[in-house]
Amino acid sequence: MRRLLYLLLAGSLVLSPCSITLAKDAPTDKKATSKEEDAQAPTSETAVRSKHSVSIGGHSVAYTATAGTLIIRDDKGQPQASVFYVAYTVDNGKPEKRPVTFLYNGGPGSSSMWLHMGSFGPVRIQTDSPTATAPAPYKLVANNDSLLDKTDLVFIDAVGAGYSRPVGKAEGKDFWGVDQDVSAFSRAIQRYVTINNRWNSPKFLFGESYGTTRSGALVDALQDKGMAFNGVILMSSILNYGVRTPGYDEMYIGYVPSYAAAAWYHNKLANKSADLTAYLQQVRAFARGPYAAALAKGQNVPPAEADEVARQLASYTGLSADYIKQANLRVDPARFRKELLRSERRTIGRFDARFEGMDEDSAGEVPDYDASDAGISGAFITAFHDYISGQLNYHSDLEYRPTFADIGKDWDWKHQAAGIKRPLQTAYVAGDLAHAIRTNPHLQVLSVNGYYDFATPFFITEYDLSHMNLEPSLRGNVQFLYYPSGHMIYLNTEALQKLKGDLARYYDTTSHS
């Protein structure tokens, strides 16, 4: 689907949402910056406004939708990129009291279409999740769970994705990297805040998947420029791309609770607990205790200990102890997705393990595709095109890129992290986020996680956020929420409804000093 994190976390590339065996979603034009497209990209700021209303929680909310472009400039004032966004602002709201939230997806290389069409905007696409959604006609519905009653919303496309493009002498490489991307988003957000008189509004960042990587560094970068934030919402996080470094076992440990959740959902446990939350607490203790201790011994783990750990892991994950021992106690997530339902000739999804897929045969090592990606992509892409032109009346000669594969392929992973003198060779941003909290002790970070997410497993997120070395007085600034859904939590409409309620309370407590 959308996020080039897919290859990285799926283990199908050496490097490697977040996307990809996904050449299918990439544009056919493989040029990173086409001169023809550059000529068509707006070189001045545009804005197409329209008036609407939506019922949220039984109350009618009147709002203005603005689809347009922001021009970001280099240090010499020359235009570098045309950044596409869609903003929803409540009519007659007072800017100094009205929160504004900037939302984006990840990839790297993804547009913001997924959050825009699926989560908290005033309309959303209706899908058949967790089964594959039938082809068109699709149904866009008014979103009773929109966040528009609590905050204005600004969905931003990364440069090269969606309708955002380099302009002038700029090229894709000027934006396609951890720090380059943060710089672009920082300038775009500052520009939006300036031209819309929102400097004194409560401000939030909301990123999904690689968007959480962006948020960790971006909030620190913006605060260094004097723009303090009230909160950061991290949905389906990846804060450390070093987790898959060969020779280390943290990835295997981090996936065990996600394996257990999937086995629980698909009824593959001999003694299934009625309470998933309590059950996963047991699994966490095993993963961080006996399992981690066994893996730390490497090839020298005693046979009796390996047998016992394999037996316990089998009881938690629904796999056989023999299979686990054949994998040297280390089951790759792609292998798990093939193995769990092998006897039923089914696979489970990567972005959302609730989805089931069917391969050409049941003998393979890993799934042929991600059922949770294939099951929704057509609906989201079609819905966006129909909505942006039909309801928002925005038209462009550019191709809208849900995901642009060239971005992830050419991504510069080096990162100049806060407090570290030499650039890191891969993205690690939990330290940046910690620095942002220390320098702004009012900053509230909310980590929202899907139990069935195999792209960014929640146990690894817990590890990263608990290793920020925060003082006891600041540890309460980071909170966790969990939902019975996958990477895109909002695909489960019951989870979306609960998440909206949780976020409403979060905004109520963090929007005021």
0.85 surpassed by pTM: yes
Binned at pLDDT 50, 70 and 90, residue 408 comes out as confident
pLDDT in tens, 67-88: 999 999 999 999 999 999 999 9
Q: Where are the domains of the chain?
A: 5-243+377-446+454-459
- DSSP characters for 78-108? -EEEEEEEEEEEETT--TTTS-EEEEE--TT
Query: What DSSP state is assigned to residue 157?
Result: P
Identify whether the C-beta of residue 452 lies closer than 8 Å to the C-beta of residue 352.
yes
Q: How confident is the model over 41-51, as pLDDT tens digits?
A: 777 899 999 99
CATH classification of 5-243+377-446+454-459, choosing from 3.30.2420, 3.40.50, 3.90.380, 1.10.8?
3.40.50
pLDDT of residue 96: 79
Average pLDDT, the chain: 91
Quick one: pLDDT at residue 28?
32
Is the sign of the CA dihedral 87, 2, 190, 147 positive or negative?
positive
Q: What is the mean pLDDT of residues 418-422?
A: 85
Own/partner pairs, 293-299, CB within 8 angstroms, 24+ separation: 294/329, 295/249, 295/252, 295/253, 295/329, 295/330, 296/249, 299/328
pLDDT at 11 over 70: no
pLDDT of residue 271: 86
How confident is the model over 199-207, as a mean pLDDT? Answer: 97
In whole angstroms, give the CA distance from residue 460 to residue 175. 28
pLDDT number for residue 40: 66
pLDDT tens column, 141-181: 999 999 999 999 999 999 999 999 999 999 999 999 999 99
Average pLDDT (97-108) is: 95
304-361: per-residue pLDDT in tens? 999 999 999 999 999 999 999 999 999 999 999 999 999 999 999 999 999 999 999 9
pLDDT at residue 4, as a whole number: 42
Does the pLDDT at position 245 exceed 50? yes
